[in-house]
Structure 1
Amino acid sequence: MKLTRNFKTIFKTLIAVVTVSVVFAACSKDRIEPQQVAGLSIIMAYPDTLSLDFIVDQTRVNDAKALNYNAKIDYLNLFPGTRRLGITKRNSNKLLMSENFNLKSGVGYSVFVIDTVKENTKKFLLTEDDLTAPAADKAKVRFINLSKDGGSLSLGIHDAETDLFTNKTFYEYTTFADVNPGESITFDIKENNAVKTTLPNVKIEKGKIYTIYAKGLQAAAIDSLKLGAAIYTHK
């Protein structure tokens, strides 16, 4: 299965079309057929020191580099329909876990790896991503709580009177909201108005789409795995 990484570009170019498609040459030299695609971005949010591989059906999608904590793979183009997503240890063929997801044509998704223990029910979080452009002179942001023991968390801009999003428990996420761009914005992640962690000095650019998520564990023994925050741009 061939995987390519230009779904966001395709989506932006063809946003007015009902279905997103790429064009590929069929067996006949003079025959061109449209092929529907879905987009899938992969984020490693499992707080561990393991080196992993991500599998789509039978294909390892990160051959060149291990999928370590905080790693991200930008949108891959996948055929729509039922896709089996899985995790293995680095360079292993044995699945630690896997799950089937139905991907719709023309839709961008983010899948977060949040556990590798088979007995735990929440292993992946799959979200549909709203890739439509923000309002004029705005950016778009959403918030996801991926900290198992972090409590019910809110996201706000430092010193702002009201929070952007409030009281999201583990595994909960918001829709995208328009925000003002800025050269150096500090985001606070809070529980009951007490700041638990911050994301300082972030450049938010107009026209771009961002996800901010709480990550890690309050009880982690390793500093790099403790409760924190991360941001990425949808591209």
Structure 2
Amino acid sequence: MKNANLKTIFKTFIAVVAVSVVFAACSKDRYEPQQVAGLSIINAFASPDSLDFYIDQTRANKPALKFNSKIDYLNLFPGNRAFSLTKRGSNKAIASERFNLASGVGYSIFVLDTLNTNTKKYLLTEDDLSAPAADKAKVRFINLSSDAPALSLRVDGKETDLFTNKAFYEYTAFTSVDPGASVTFNIKAADVVKTTLPNVKIEAGKIYTIYAKGVSTATIDSLKLGAAIYTHK
């Protein structure tokens, strides 16, 4: 398997969904647009293991892909692509699956499990990278805690939930939210706050994903139920 040599998509991918990169044609110095898909990779598997993520035969990560680490959007040719995981430095795949990627679409793939006990190895989402409304941000919520109950997300101090009762593997559409210099998000089961994402800066014009992570049975604190947020870029 080759080392990674995948070019990241810059912020224009977020601003314009129909992305293309330009390649030289074979003759007469003509240039023709070549459509691409974008793929962001997030390790949401609550394990201390260090992993490598492969797209077909190409390793996508340089540093090890550890729990809660993320790779920003990569340029990929569309079509049927093979994704696989190995333990760091190994050539033996421990979780493999094929996905169809469409031209001009941004995707996020979440690593969920590498064990035979769970058939849900990955979650692939199609990302709405259209610009937020004026003076707004956009956010979605995903429950990626495999032993958590259905979870809801609420902005601290608000009277209603942003998103309600999402079971493991379920995710919401993006919705508009107000920006703020220090926003706290509460993740709840029924009316009980299970974990909190405190003092987050939410900026107008940006797109965010918040996800529940970890497992309640973990013996390592960093792998226990918690929350994470990232910006789509």
TM-score, normalized by the shorter chain, greater than 0.5: yes
SS in 2 for 1:87: strand
Deviation at 1:119, TM superposition (A): 4.7
- Alignment deviations for residues 212-232 of structure 1 (CA, whole Å, 9 cap, x no partner): 000000111111100000000
Query: What TM-score results when the alignment is normalised by the length of structure 1?
Result: 0.94
Aligned to 1:99: 97
Residue 195 of structure 2: aligned partner: 197
Structure 1 portions without partners, runs of 5+ = none
Within-5 A mapping of 1:150-229: 150-229=148-227
* Distance in 2 (alpha carbons) for counterparts of 1:224 and 1:84: 30
Give the aligned partner of residue 44 of structure 2: 45
Corresponding residue to 1:6 among 6, 9, 18: 9
Partner AA of 1:33 in structure 2? E
Percent identity, aligned pairs only?
A: 70
1:131 aligns with 2:142: no
Amino acid at match of 1:52: L
SS in 2 for 1:224: helix
Residues 86-129 of structure 1: CA deviation (Å, up to 9, x unaligned): 10011111100110000000000000001001452100000000
Per-residue CA deviation, residues 53-86 of structure 1 (Å, 9 max, x unaligned), is 0000000011x20000010000000000001011
- TM-score of the superposed pair, with normalisation by structure 2: 0.95
Answer yes or no: is the 8 Å Cα contact 1:41–1:72 preserved in 2.
Answer: yes
Matched residue count: 230
Seen in structure 2, the aligned counterparts of structure 1 residues 199 and 35 have a Cα distance that, compared at 3 Å, is same
The alpha carbon displacement at 1:11 in A equals: 4.9
Q: 1:27 maps to which residue?
A: 26
Letter in 2 for 1:55: Y
Task: After superposition, give the CA deviation of every residue in 1:150-183 in whole Å (9 maximum; x if it has no partner).
Answer: 1110000112100100000000000000000000
Give 2:176's aligned amino acid: D
Shift, 1:149, TM fit: 1.0
Is contact 1:147–1:215 with CA below 8 Å preserved after alignment?
yes
2-structure distance, mates of 1:133, 1:53: 32
Q: Distance in 1 between matches of 2:13 and 2:193?
A: 39
**What CA distance in whole angstroms lies between the structure 2 residues aligned with 1:232 and 1:58?**
27
Q: Deviations over 1:126-148 (max 9, x none)?
A: 00000001111000000000001
What stretches of structure 1 move > 6 A for 4+ residues in a row? Answer: none
Q: Trace 1:60-79 onto structure 2 (pairs within 5 A).
A: 60-62=59-61, 64-79=62-77
Match of 1:80 among 62, 78, 86: 78
Which 5+ residue runs of structure 2 have no aligned equivalent? none
User: Aligned in 2, Cα 1:193/1:104: closer, same or farther, shift over 3 Å?
Assistant: same
Superposition deviation, residue 10 in structure 1 = 3.7
Question: 1:31: how far off?
Answer: 2.0
Instruction: Compute the displacement of 1:38 (Å).
Output: 0.2
Code of the aligned partner of 1:83: R
Q: Distance in 1 between matches of 2:98 and 2:25?
A: 29
AA in 1 matched with 2:49? L
Contact 1:138 1:207 in 2 (8 A): yes
